[in-house]
Amino acid sequence: MFLLSALVAAVATADASAAQAPAIKVLSNRADLISAGDALVAVNLPPGTDASKVRVKVGKRDVTSAFGVRANGRFEGLLTGLANGRNVVTARVLGGKGARIAILNHPNGGPVIAGPQVKPWVCQDTAKDAQCNEPAKFELQYKSSADGQFHDYDPGNPPPDLATTTTDQGRQVPYIVRLETGYQDRDQYQTAILYDPSKPFRPWAPQKGWNHKLLITHGASCGIERKSGEAPDVMNDAALSHGFAVLSTALDNAGHNCNLATQAESLIMAKERLVEEYGRIRYTIATGCSGGSLVQQQVGNAYPGVYQGLLPQCSFPDSWSTGQQLAAYHLTRLYFENSTKWAPGIAWTPDQIAEVEGHPNHANVVIFDTVYWTDLAIPDDGCVGVKPEQTYNAETNPGGVRCTLVDYMINVFGPRRPNVWSAPEKKVGHGFAGIPLDNVGLQFGLRALRQGKITPAQYVDLNQKIGGVDIDINPVSHRNVADQPALRNAYRNGAINETNNLKGVPIIDLRGPDPGAFHDAYRTWTIRARLERQEGHHPKNHVIWFGHAPLIGDAQYATEGLYAIDRWLARVEADKRHVSRERKVADDRPGDIQDRCSQIPGVEQVDVPGVGKVCKNKDVQTRFATPAMVAGEGIRTDTNKCKLKRHLRSDYYPIDFTDDQWKTLQKTFPTGVCDWSKLGVDQRGTIPWMTYQDAKGRVVYGGRPLGPAPKSKPVG
């Protein structure tokens, strides 16, 4: 008993002693994701510690002079000159205890989490090295009180029409913006912030014009370019005038780069740099339409904490559940535009084609196929930054660069096993990326058949001949089987966004009617349906504003949404209860931020308890479908490979097939048909914060979780 008491007392004494040790906190990023040799660091000192007796070192290098007790009360400093790799930082009180933390620094040119970079890559003309590095450039712009536009600002000759602005903190400042353009991760970034050039601006003593909030802007589309591009515009008056900093990167422009891993990596690096220049961020809001919504929602789920609030417009949930729709459209287009040649006795009307494809206009399918499938799936179509002689050709250059999104993301999906997508006679594919798309068991046109919109003969012929494509997107007669481990990885890493890490993120989705040009409006409700599955109820963090303007809903929605989600986040920030963030986001939503439907001529609104205003005539919301939805999939549309059930003739009752037709269907579905009542094969929630490299920068195909951020440990 005495021994036990002594041990307990010793442990208690050790705990108390450890509590009095300093603690090191890396403020600008996770300690294991630092880049470019700089890190903003604070040392939390025990009460009563004399700061003049604290010594800070990086390895054996004394860096104490970089630190001091700042106006914010922290003992804080900006470390510079960190070596690539592991840097051990120690802080010690003379004659007392200390702490240490390992900072893992990565090159400014990357990578940090995305793994070995794609090659070839063409840098901008002004690059100083092969990683596209060059010194950042700064310029000043001011808003004119005369014309309301931005113009170049000369500090030596201040203009008479310099406007002022009052931030949301009630501080009136000259409306001068510092615009920074630089390069990280082999591509461009930009930041903009209110800035008075006559006054200092330090991360621990920022100017009063910054409200410590950040807006990230995004580009559109979904594409692949192997060269440095341009960052989306950051001169956002609605945000800057209220005191927000605004940031963007070329790699978060999905039309330039549709790779989830490098989208996230570029934002992590750019946010770190902003903190090291200007100070800590209270919260970050994202905005963008189409591909801009895609980046927000897939990065927000895969790397929770990059954003705290989302403002998607023309919504896409991610790139790879959308890829399933594109793949199906490519096949239906091949069938319908050649069906008279394949089956002269079977004719399809435009209405019947629409019933199978889930959209009233076949032109929507054509646009999808020609704009995206060609650019993202055909390996020898060419890609920006790759010379023709470097491009893959199955016969003349089988080792060339494959200009597909899946090969661009090989670190994420992993190499494919040979001959899964290839025709049996083709022996290629050992170095290609796996493809997480599948149509085995998919009953194309099933709903149309049940509703009597198409005949049994049409249904049988369609499903018999729809087939698939090989690894080079050449038509083949057999259905496509998703590659493994690519399918499993697509769910693990968030390429298919299961929204399980978005439950604590306020989202205001800004949506207008579907114009029939691949921005299908149902995707707004796709995110809601996925959140409903995760949260088990109507999601309290998801709001839909539906307006009359195609795609965007209303020209004012983006600005109104920014200020609304800012109010929401401010209330969450002020909530000091010891409850989950998900609970705070639900409880702290302002009462006026609800679903709404703007006044559309001839469309009534109704109040739904707990939901808000919705369109009484929901036809205006044009929630069309996909071929898989027509086959039985729900609006979540995140089943990239369905689980199968027995294919029974009785399941079609009262539809009657001839014996020959049924034999054909049995051959078409030898392993069964989709069972949409079950989760798909390997379907699971996204694992947050995946990295595709080890500590030495070597590739980890399919990724590994980073785990919790490193913390300092007491020493001495």
Looking at residue 62, its pLDDT comes to: 98
572, 649: one domain: no
Within 10 angstroms of residue 51's Cβ, the number of other Cβ atoms is 13
pLDDT tens column, 500-541:
999 999 999 999 887 777 888 899 999 999 999 999 999 999
Looking at residue 404, its pLDDT comes to: 95
Task: Tell me the mean pLDDT in the region 30-42.
Answer: 98
Within 10 angstroms of residue 331's Cβ, the number of other Cβ atoms is 24
pLDDT tens column, 509-518:
999 887 777 8
Task: Tell me the mean pLDDT in the region 324-342.
Answer: 87
Is residue 520 in some structural domain? yes
694-to-103, 115, 488 alpha-carbon distances in Å:
15, 8, 20
- Count the domains in the chain: 4
Is residue 277 in some structural domain? no
400, 546: one domain: no
The structure tokens 């109040």 sit at 607
As a whole-number percent, the residues of the chain with pLDDT over 90 amount to: 82
**Residue 27: which CATH number?**
2.60.40
630, 610: one domain: no
Parent domain of 205: 137-270
Burial class (CB in 10 A: 0-12, 13-18, 19+), 679: middle
Pairing of strands 283-289, 213-217: parallel
Q: Among the three residues 599, 616, 633, which one is the final residue of a domain in this structure? A: 616
Kindly tell me if the per-residue pLDDT of 17 is higher than 80.
no
pLDDT tens column, 151-189:
999 999 999 999 999 999 999 999 999 999 999 999 999
Looking at residue 622, its pLDDT comes to: 66
Kindly tell me if the per-residue pLDDT of 18 is higher than 50.
no
456, 506: one domain: no
Q: Among the three residues 270, 289, 312, which one is the final residue of a domain in this structure? A: 270
Q: Give Cβ neighbours of residue 624 (< 8 Å, ≥ 6 apart).
A: 358, 359, 360, 514, 520, 521, 522
- Read off the DSSP letter of residue 227: B
Kindly tell me if the per-residue pLDDT of 606 is higher than 80.
no
Looking at residue 621, its pLDDT comes to: 61
pLDDT tens column, 683-716:
999 999 999 999 889 999 999 999 999 999 999 8
Pairing of strands 309-313, 605-608: unpaired
Sign of the C-alpha dihedral, residues 201, 207, 213, 218? negative
542, 472: one domain: no
166, 227: one domain: yes
Q: Give Cβ neighbours of residue 72 (< 8 Å, ≥ 6 apart).
A: 204, 205
Range in 2-11, 64-73, 352-361, 499-508 the model is least confident about: 2-11
475, 326: one domain: yes
Is residue 679 in some structural domain? no
Within 10 angstroms of residue 393's Cβ, the number of other Cβ atoms is 15
Q: Where are the alpha helices (DSSP H) in 474-540?
A: 486-492, 522-535
Residue 547's pLDDT band (cuts 50, 70, 90):
confident
Tell me the Cα Rg of the chain.
28
Within 10 angstroms of residue 496's Cβ, the number of other Cβ atoms is 31
59, 77: one domain: yes
Phi, psi (degrees; rounded to nearest 5) at 150? -90, 140
Is the CB of residue 232 less than 8 Å from the CB of residue 248? yes
Is residue 310 in some structural domain? no
266, 346: one domain: no
448, 535: one domain: no
Q: Among the three residues 616, 642, 666, which one is the final residue of a domain in this structure? A: 616
Is residue 298 in some structural domain? no
Looking at residue 341, its pLDDT comes to: 60
Is residue 92 in some structural domain? yes
Phi, psi (degrees; rounded to nearest 5) at 227? -160, 160
State which H helix or E strand residue 13 sits in: helix 2-19
Is the CB of residue 482 less than 8 Å from the CB of residue 413? no
Is residue 634 in some structural domain? yes
Cα(558)–Cα(549) distance, integer angstroms: 13
334, 464: one domain: yes
Cα(206)–Cα(193) distance, integer angstroms: 11
Is residue 175 in some structural domain? yes
pLDDT tens column, 266-317:
999 999 999 999 999 999 999 999 999 999 999 999 999 999 999 999 999 9
Is the CB of residue 391 less than 8 Å from the CB of residue 397? yes
Beta strands (DSSP E) in 200-308 are 213-217, 245-249, 283-289
Kindly tell me if the per-residue pLDDT of 494 is higher than 70.
yes
Looking at residue 94, its pLDDT comes to: 93
Within 10 angstroms of residue 86's Cβ, the number of other Cβ atoms is 13
330, 465: one domain: yes
- Of the two residues 344 and 652, the one the predictor is more confident about is 652
Give 607's strand partners.
Answer: 613
Is the CB of residue 194 less than 8 Å from the CB of residue 167? yes
Of residues 328, 327, 350, the one with CA closest to residue 339 = 350
